[in-house]
Amino acid sequence: MTNEVINEKRREFLGASALALASAIIGVPVMTNATAIAADYKKNPFGLVYNGAITKNEPGKVNIHPVKYKLHGLDIVANVYTPANYYPSVDVARLGLLGICGGGGYSLSAAKADKRFKSIATLSMFNSGRVRRNGFADSQLDSIEERLRQVTAARAQEMAGGEILYAGDANLTDAQIAALPFEMYRQGYEYYWKTHAHPNSTFKYTMSSLLDLMRWDATDQIELIDQPLLMIAGSKADSLYMTEDAFPKATGTKDKELFKIEGATHIETYWVPKYVEAAMSKLTPFFGRTLVS
């Protein structure tokens, strides 16, 4: 599939959906291969780092609008995508919510209470709280209490004006990455740290922030979601268990579907053309049907 076809698919989806409030960028990156070098963000006015990214706004096409705002004292920056032929307003009766990876988990959490969203879709949903608490694939169940004590001590130290401790490390060699036990993390380092790395992304987060994440779960009270729900994940994704765990818990809606993209891993659903096309083939009619005014 060429970049032009991908962009056309993107335009069709955005046009049919009226407005998708995404927790991750809807623009679909295309790589020629898994070892492609990230594009130079300095050459893109929107700071995008993937090949085939939008470089300018043109009438009648998908446009990008950089925004900046304050949230709890932090400077937040983002790109807002608007569909082709877009009116400068939002139809509040046609709000759809799409969350990708970690954004999928946060979308489920948001939708259970915020009924402005008429329908919700997730792609490769990642339950950040469960993973930080239990470890990936629940591999760290025996150390939860110990890690909570470490996190509590880190927060106390930080609040007392001491050194801020960080978790996460992207300074891994190729051999160390290859030795990681989970495919999502191996491919994730390739994608986020090499082919699509942005210099402002450090992979690090404060240890103290884990205190909030470890007591949070994307599936808590998910039964409150009564809107149409579409959950998409790769059939070979080692993160699939998170989607398969969440889906049956969404008992509040009868209009729901779990769709598995055959042969896809977690990271591959982001960029492999045939898997992107499979996701779009479900997202486009789903939002087209559920966001009818």
| Residues 6 or more apart whose Cβ sits within 8 Å of residue 37 | 194, 195
d(CA 136, CA 177) in angstroms, rounded, equals 16
- Confidence (pTM): 0.85
Phi (first) and psi of residue 257, to 5 degrees: -150, 140
Backbone CA torsion sign across 260, 265, 267, 271: negative
Q: What is the pLDDT at residue 255?
A: 98
Of 7, 39, 62, nearest to 195 by C-alpha is: 39
d(CA 45, CA 197) in angstroms, rounded, equals 16
Of 192, 154, 194, 156, nearest to 174 by C-alpha is: 194
Residue type for 59, please? P
Q: Which tens digits make up the pLDDT trace of 83-134?
A: 898 878 889 999 999 999 999 999 999 999 999 999 999 999 999 999 999 9
What DSSP state is assigned to residue 247?
Answer: G
Would you give the end-to-end CA distance of the chain in angstroms?
A: 32
Of 265, 191, 171, nearest to 36 by C-alpha is: 191
How distant, in Å, are the alpha carbons of 6, 146, 150, 270 from that of 105?
A: 26, 25, 25, 16
Q: What is the pLDDT at residue 13?
A: 39
User: Are the C-beta atoms of 184 and 265 separated by less than 8 Å?
Assistant: yes
- Which residues does the chain have with pLDDT short of 70? 1-37
Range(s) of the chain covered by CATH 3.40.50 = 3-127+217-290
User: Are the C-beta atoms of 216 and 210 separated by less than 8 Å?
Assistant: no
Backbone CA torsion sign across 137, 140, 142, 144: negative
- In CATH, the number for domain 3-127+217-290 is 3.40.50
Q: What is the pLDDT at residue 1?
A: 42
d(CA 52, CA 18) in angstroms, rounded, equals 24
Residue 76 token pair: 């937040």
- Reported for 42-48, long-range contacts at CB under 8 A and 24+ positions apart, including other chains, are 46/79, 47/79, 47/198, 48/79
Q: What is the pLDDT at residue 39?
A: 80
Q: What is the pLDDT at residue 203?
A: 81
Q: What is the pLDDT at residue 37?
A: 58
